[in-house]
């Protein structure tokens, strides 16, 4: 992984980040979000619903992509927009590769394509992100 860019990235620049989504990610994201949705914390209910076990929090998986986005955007940009489609449930224990690629530059903003792929499998999250200047509020 390359260090965060201090300047505007090139169109086509791409960064990927892989991680196995374990019960540890699940437990910590429960703590972060407060979400105790049965599909995410109850293996019995998840199996009854047709899943192989507990299902990853969608935003916890998408969070892997923010690592790539922040690297591409550099320290002077934050995420201003995320537009993602979650096409399939992701079982806990899955290894996911998140990737972000610069599609175009719009003034100060950087627009990226985001794809999260199951290890050896299909894309499970796809969409776009916009990285914008810091713009402190208040």
Partner 1 sequence: MYDIIPFDSIAVGDRVSVSKTVTEADGALYIAATGDFGPVHIDDGYAAGTRFGKRLAPGIMVAGLCTSVLTAELAGVLGVSIRDEFWFTGAVFYGDTITIDVWIVERHPETRTLVWEASARNEAGTEVLKAHATLKYPRPKSA
Binding site for partner 1 (CB under 8 A): 22-28, 31, 36, 38, 41-45, 54
Query: Encoding tokens for residue 53?
Result: 């076990």
Between 1 and 36, whose beta carbon lies closer to partner 1?
36
Shortest distance (Å) from residue 24 CB to partner 1? 4
Going 100 to 76 to 110 to 136, the CA torsion angle's sign is positive
Between 26 and 94, whose beta carbon lies closer to partner 1?
26
d(CA 130, CA 109): 7
**Bridge partners for 95 per DSSP:** 20
Shortest distance (Å) from residue 37 CB to partner 1? 11
Shortest distance (Å) from residue 132 CB to partner 1? 34
Between 45 and 113, whose beta carbon lies closer to partner 1?
45
Q: Which of 92, 70, 93 is nearest to 80 (CA)?
A: 70
């Amino acid at each position: 992984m390359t260090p965060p860019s201090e300047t505007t990235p090139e169109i086509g620049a791409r960064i990927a980040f892989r991680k196995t989504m374990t019960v540890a990610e699940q437990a910590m994201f429960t703590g972060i979000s407060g979400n105790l949705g049965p599909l995410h914390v109850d293996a019995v209910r998840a199996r009854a619903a047709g899943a192989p076990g507990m299902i990853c929090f969608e935003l916890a998986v998408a969070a892997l992509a923010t690592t790539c986005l922040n690297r591409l955007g550099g320290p002077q940009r934050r995420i201003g927009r995320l537009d993602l489609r979650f096409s399939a449930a992701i079982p806990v224990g899955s290894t996911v590769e998140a990737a972000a690629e610069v599609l175009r530059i719009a003034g100060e903003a950087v627009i990226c394509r985001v794809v999260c792929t199951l290890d050896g499998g299909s894309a499970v999250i796809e969409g776009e992100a916009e990285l914008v200047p810091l713009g402190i509020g208040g």
